[in-house]
Amino acid sequence: MPTLVACLSTGKGTWGHVSKLIETHPWDKIFLVTNEFGKENFTKNSKTELILVDPNQGIKELQQDIYSKLKDKVKGTDVFLNIVSGSGKEHMALLAALIKLGLGINMISLTKDGVEEL
């Protein structure tokens, strides 16, 4: 039962990367950590839940915010993370939140050969 957790934030062309990743793999659940702009402008499918955060808060507050919003939602060992989109601060906070949840994560990306685990 694969679950995708990904940042959906800043970075030219990164929304297309995340969209392709969503479309080309049979995910059971998808959680996209995003901001207000992402919430208003990204077209999600029925398996996708947007996790709204304020990227302007401090890194520890951001990590705690992500942790509290994911703690009862992301379970299991088949969790894949993509951080192509977003800032370093968002990446650090998301990764720290997933580690705090005790999840084993796999990094996944879209490459020239398709979706690949890194």
Q: Tell me which architecture the domain covering 8-117 has in CATH.
A: 3-Layer(aba) Sandwich (3.40)
- The Cα–Cα gap between 45 and 26 comes to 12
- Spatial CA neighbour of 70 closest among 38, 101, 106: 101
Can you give the pLDDT at residue 75?
A: 84
pTM passes above 0.75: yes
Can you give the pLDDT at residue 5?
A: 98
73 and 81 in contact (C-beta within 8 Å)?
A: no
- The Cα–Cα gap between 40 and 70 comes to 20
Pairing between β-strand 105-111 and β-strand 114-117 as defined by DSSP bridges: antiparallel
Can you give the pLDDT at residue 69?
A: 98
- The Cα–Cα gap between 44 and 32 comes to 9
Position 32 pLDDT exceeds 80: yes
pLDDT tens figures, 50-97: 999 999 999 999 999 999 999 999 988 889 999 999 999 999 999 999
Counting every residue written for the chain, the total comes to 118
Q: Where are the domains of the chain?
A: 8-117
